[in-house]
């Protein structure tokens, strides 16, 4: 590691939402900075004016906040730093480490077409490299369009020690004189990145290995400017289940989608950290604080990680299980209010404490925050009817009259229970003699009446949470509904 204080950065382009790969890059840079007591910078690389989106930019910031990755500096926007890039480009021009190129798009395309026909490698032929400064400046001053190209040193190689892959070497003769300033005055990606990393004191860059080919260009720029370059770590890409690069065809890749789907940040951060890093190949569960403490660049993997949404669901359910009930219920409450508009919540049940009791009875069943709708929607409203198919099943299994009598007898017994607790309610019904029905059939009728469905959390916990009055009303209401349904 460098003696300098660690400074990392996350530098997304606002041309789309933050995806899984970008979120992992942000996380690794954040963990590395915090591990070594450094700073984490957020930079928005918005020089692609045709594709930038303000909505995407805001969504990226929102996703990072959701993950709990608080940046120390920024966000810095490249579009507001054009004078800085121009200053460094002029420095390179004055030192003959860059030059103006007046070649037209037509000329360059003709050259490329010729090389394609020959099956060869195309590189700019450096026609404008030999222009003397006076002619170059005169043509620029006359209004002739030009770009600024970086002058690749003749011969030699670029070498760097990658945190993941070890020493990598690139021969200069396979690189052409790449553009650093476009004809519209905007900087190109590699130039702006190098200038910003220098200006912002970035010491370490962790990114996907699809950026390996950019690194020699950036190192050449650092060398030409006479400044220290950061260290690099290029982590393997994330693949889909079919072992191809993760993309939209594998399903949602935007981090925002996972938030809306009911995943929690603790699970997302934990799982993302394990896509390309591990502590000991056996420890699975980490908090963000534990990841900071245990993080080490020596534990980066060298093979691509495979994203598995089922594994993420497993992490999500596991983290929800171990959460203190107050924290879990607040997450459920806030999620329901924001993302489940179809969940009908009567005003009198729109209360965090009540949500806490409902979340408690849902127990370990919640894989996603939204599962509260499937398991416990009936806890939040008293205005519902019993589905015809449920009533048909009860009538088929028991007969309408017998089922209605059983429900009313159950209501009488429950009304007389002294201690209205789950244990006492279960004990009373286990010992009850109702229409010659065994305990499991009584539980089915009870569950049907209280939840209007055949699956629910523990039914005696449900009854206790609903309370005596609401439970009795529902039992009697189902009895009446069965009689009416039978008569039709």
Radius of gyration of the chain measured on its C-alpha atoms? 32
Could you tell me the sign of the dihedral formed by the alpha carbons of 71, 77, 83, 86, in that order?
A: positive
Could you tell me the sign of the dihedral formed by the alpha carbons of 319, 320, 325, 326, in that order?
A: positive
Spot the catalytic one: 243, 248, 282, 433.
248
> Which amino acids are annotated as binding site, given as ranges?
248
Please write down the HEC assignment for all residues of the chain.
CCCCCCEEEECCCCCCCCEHHHHHHHHHHHHHHHHCCCEEEEEECCCCCCCCCHHHHHHHHHHHHHHCCCCCEEEEEHHHCHHHHHHHHHHHHHCCCEEEECCCHHHHHHHHHHHHHHCCCCCCCCHHHHCCHHHHHHHHHCCCCCEEEECCCCCCEEEEEECCCEEEEEEHHHCCCCEEECCCCCECHHHHHHHHHHHCCCCEEEEEHHHHHHHHHHHHHHHHHCCCCCEEEEECCEECCCCCECCHHHCCCEHHHHHHHCCCHHHHHHHHHCCCECCCCCCCCCCHHHHHHHCCHHHECCCCEECCHHHHHHHHHHHHHHCCHHHHHHHHHHHHHHHCCCCCCCHHHCCHHHHHHHHHHHHHHCCCCCHHHHHHHHHCCCCCCCCHHHHHHHHHHHCHHHHHHHHHHHHHHHHCCCCCCHHHHHHHHHCCCCCCCCHHHHHHHHHHHHHCCCCCCCHHHHHHHHCHHHHHHHHHHHHHHHHHHHHC
248 is catalytic: yes
Number of Cβ within 10 Å of residue 149's Cβ equals 23
User: Which residue's entry shows tokens 């201690």?
Assistant: 419
Nearest alpha carbon to residue 380 among 337, 443, 326: 337
The tokens describing 351, both together, are: 């209360």
- For 8, 9, 73, 289, the CA distances from 230, given in Å and listed in that order, are 9, 11, 18, 26
> Which amino acids are annotated as binding site for ATP, given as ranges?
248
Kindly list the catalytic residues: 248
């Amino acid at each position: 590691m460098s003696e300098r204080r660690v400074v990392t950065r996350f530098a997304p382009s606002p041309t789309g939402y933050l995806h899984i790969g970008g979120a992992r890059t942000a996380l690794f840079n954040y963990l590395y900075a915090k591990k070594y007591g450094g700073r984490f910078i957020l930079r928005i690389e918005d020089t692609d004016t045709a594709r930038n989106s303000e909505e995407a930019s805001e969504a990226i910031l929102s996703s990072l906040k959701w993950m709990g990755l608080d940046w120390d500096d920024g966000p810095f926007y490249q579009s507001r730093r054009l004078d800085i890039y121009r200053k460094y480009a002029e420095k390179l021009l004055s030192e003959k480490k860059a030059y103006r190129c007046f070649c037209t798009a037509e000329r360059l395309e003709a050259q490329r077409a010729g090389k394609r026909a020959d099956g060869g490698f195309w590189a700019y032929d450096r026609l404008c490299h030999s222009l003397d400064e006076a002619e170059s400046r005169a043509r620029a001053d006359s209004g002739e369009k030009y770009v600024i190209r970086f002058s690749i040193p003749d011969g030699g190689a670029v070498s760097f020690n990658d945190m993941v892959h070890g020493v990598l070497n690139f021969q200069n003769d396979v690189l052409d004189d790449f553009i650093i300033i476009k004809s519209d005055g905007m900087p190109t990606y590699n130039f702006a990145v190098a200038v910003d990393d220098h200006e912002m004191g970035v010491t370490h860059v962790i990114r996907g290995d699809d950026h390996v080919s950019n690194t020699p260009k950036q190192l050449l720029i650092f060398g030409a400017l006479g400044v220290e370059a950061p260290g690099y770590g290029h982590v393997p890409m994330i693949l889909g289940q079919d072992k191809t690069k993760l993309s939209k065809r594998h399903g949602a890749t935007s981090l925002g989608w996972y938030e809306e789907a009911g995943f929690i940040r603790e699970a997302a951060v934990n799982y993302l950290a394990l896509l390309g890093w591990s502590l000991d190949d056996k420890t699975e569960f980490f908090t963000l604080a534990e990841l900071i403490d245990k993080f080490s660049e020596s534990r980066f993997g060298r093979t691509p990680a495979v994203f598995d949404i089922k594994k993420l669901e497993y992490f999500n359910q596991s983290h929800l299980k171990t959460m203190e009930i107050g924290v879990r219920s607040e997450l459920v409450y806030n999620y329901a209010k924001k993302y489940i508009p179809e969940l009908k919540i009567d005003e009198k049940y729109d209360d965090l404490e009540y949500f806490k009791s409902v979340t408690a009875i849902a127990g370990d069943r919640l894989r996603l925050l939204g599962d509260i709708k499937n398991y416990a929607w009936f806890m939040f409203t008293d205005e519902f009817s019993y589905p015809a198919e449920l009533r048909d099943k009860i009538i088929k299994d028991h007969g309408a009259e017998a089922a209605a009598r059983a429900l009313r007898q159950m209501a009488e017994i429950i009304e007389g229970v002294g201690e209205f607790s789950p244990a006492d309610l279960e004990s009373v019904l286990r010992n009850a003699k109702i229409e010659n029905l065994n305990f499991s059939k009584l539980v089915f009728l009870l569950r049907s009446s209280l939840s209007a469905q055949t699956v629910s959390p523990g039914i005696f916990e449900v009854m206790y949470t609903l309370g005596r009055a609401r439970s009795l009303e529902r039992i009697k209401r189902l009895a009446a509904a069965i009689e009416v349904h039978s008569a039709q």
